[in-house]
Amino acid sequence: MTKQEKTGVVTELGEILNGASSIYFTDYKGLTVSQATDLRNKFREAGVKYRVAKNTLIKIALTEKGLDVDRLEETLTGQTALAFGFEDPAAPARILKEFNEKNADRPVYKMAWLDGTIYDGKQLKFLAALPTKKDLLGSIVGSLHAPITGIVGVLGALQRDIVYIMDAIEKKKAETAA
Residue 51, pLDDT score: 92
CA-based nearest residue to 24, from 119, 101, 102: 119
Instruction: Please compute Rg for the chain using Cα positions.
Output: 28
CA-based nearest residue to 90, from 68, 115, 70, 67: 115
> Based on the domain organization, do 25 and 58 belong to the same domain?
yes
Tally of residues, the chain: 178
Residue 124, pLDDT score: 66
Neighbouring CB atoms inside 10 A of 99's CB total 19
> Based on the domain organization, do 122 and 144 belong to the same domain?
no
**Domains: count for the chain:** 2
Residue 41, pLDDT score: 92
How far is the CA of 168 from the CAs of 102, 132, 147, 157, 161, in angstroms? 68, 53, 31, 16, 10
**Contact predicate 82/28, CB 8 Å:** no
> Based on the domain organization, do 18 and 89 belong to the same domain?
yes
Provide CB contacts within 8 A for 79, sequence distance 6+: 27, 28, 29, 52
> Based on the domain organization, do 63 and 136 belong to the same domain?
no
Domain boundary among 115, 130, 145: 130
Q: What is the pTM of this model?
A: 0.68
> Based on the domain organization, do 26 and 91 belong to the same domain?
yes
Q: Which domain holds residue 27?
A: 3-130
**Mean pLDDT of successive 10-residue stretches along the chain, which has 178 residues:** 88 88 86 89 91 90 81 80 86 85 80 78 66 62 66 70 76 77
Per the DSSP assignment, residues forming a β-bridge with 86 are none
> Based on the domain organization, do 14 and 76 belong to the same domain?
yes
Q: What CATH code is carried by the domain that includes residue 7? A: 3.30.70.1730
> Based on the domain organization, do 64 and 106 belong to the same domain?
yes
